[in-house]
């Protein structure tokens, strides 16, 4: 059987279903992989803090890729190994684009979220993800670096945003419709498919990644790594 040095797993819909509990079978398999020398990585769109309820159930994890690939943390001391922020000029451009659509808008600063107005959905989102929410008069008040901007709305509206190819084709940022009702914008170096190969510390081995994107396959293979889809 081929051995892969890194196994990267998404959370929602991969190792976690409707319940927040990780199955005993999944824990056992990952423990066996760890005993064989594999590096275990979570790769998720969640914020880092939101992953902790999952991390606490998996004793053998090594790294977490969060914010759709905009940040990599080492488990144990929470050290940030790599992160990518949105430039201020890009933030202004994206917020101007968002203003054209009737959506709820969220800015992520570290593990906190900032909104200009709250709602029942946002209250529940913050509680569910265990993040602090700050209601501010304007996003222009945010002085710290923003790691992600999110628009949340009806599927049809998010579809209209996603169809704005001229906006999405920009080299200044990375835009993705991560869920039917989510439209996210990150640094151009963001995206889970970029975070894994960009982090040298995680690419010292071959990679196994469920539903691994083609971009990651190409980069990993260019670096002489073997890639398998779980």
- Write the DSSP symbol of residue 204: S
Using alpha carbons, select from 145, 139, 147 the residue that is nearest to residue 96: 139
- What number is the average pLDDT over the span 77-102? 91
Residue-wise pLDDT tens digits, 102-146 = 999 999 998 999 999 999 999 999 998 889 999 999 999 999 999
CATH (residue range 6-83+191-228): 3.40.50.1000
Tell me the chain's radius of gyration from C-alpha atoms: 18
Domain ranges of the chain: 6-83+191-228, 88-186
Q: How far apart are CA 200 and CA 146, in angstroms?
A: 24
Per-residue pLDDT band at 170 (split at 50, 70, 90): confident
Instruction: Tell me the β-bridge partners of 146.
Output: 86
Contact criterion met (CB below 8 Å) for 151 and 183: yes
Residue-wise pLDDT tens digits, 33-71 = 888 888 888 988 899 999 998 999 998 898 899 998 899
- pTM, rounded to two decimals: 0.80
Q: Check: CATH 3.40.50.920 for 88-186? A: no
């Amino acid at each position: 059987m081929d051995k892969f040095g890194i196994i990267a797993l998404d959370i929602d819909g991969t190792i976690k279903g409707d319940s927040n509990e990780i199955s005993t079978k999944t824990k056992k398999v990952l423990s066996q992989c760890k005993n064989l020398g594999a590096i275990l990585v979570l790769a998720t769109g969640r914020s880092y803090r939101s992953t902790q309820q999952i991390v606490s159930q998996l004793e053998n994890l090594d790294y977490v890729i969060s914010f759709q690939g905009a940040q990599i943390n080492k488990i144990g001391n929470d050290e940030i190994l790599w992160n990518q922020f949105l430039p201020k000029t890009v933030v202004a451009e994206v917020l101007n684009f968002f203003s054209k659509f009737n959506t709820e808008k969220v800015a992520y600063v570290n593990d906190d979220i900032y909104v200009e107005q709250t709602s029942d959905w946002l209250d529940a989102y913050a509680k569910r993800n265990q993040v602090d929410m700050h209601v501010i008069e304007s996003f222009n008040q945010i002085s710290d670096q923003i790691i992600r901007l999110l628009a949340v709305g009806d599927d049809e509206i998010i579809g209209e945003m996603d169809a704005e190819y001229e906006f999405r084709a920009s080299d200044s940022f990375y835009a993705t419709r991560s869920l039917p009702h989510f439209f996210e914008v990150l640094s151009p170096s963001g995206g889970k498919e970029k975070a894994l190969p960009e982090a040298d510390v995680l690419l010292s081995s071959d990679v196994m990644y469920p539903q691994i994107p083609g971009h990651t396959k190409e980069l990993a293979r260019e670096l002489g790594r073997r890639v398998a889809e779980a």
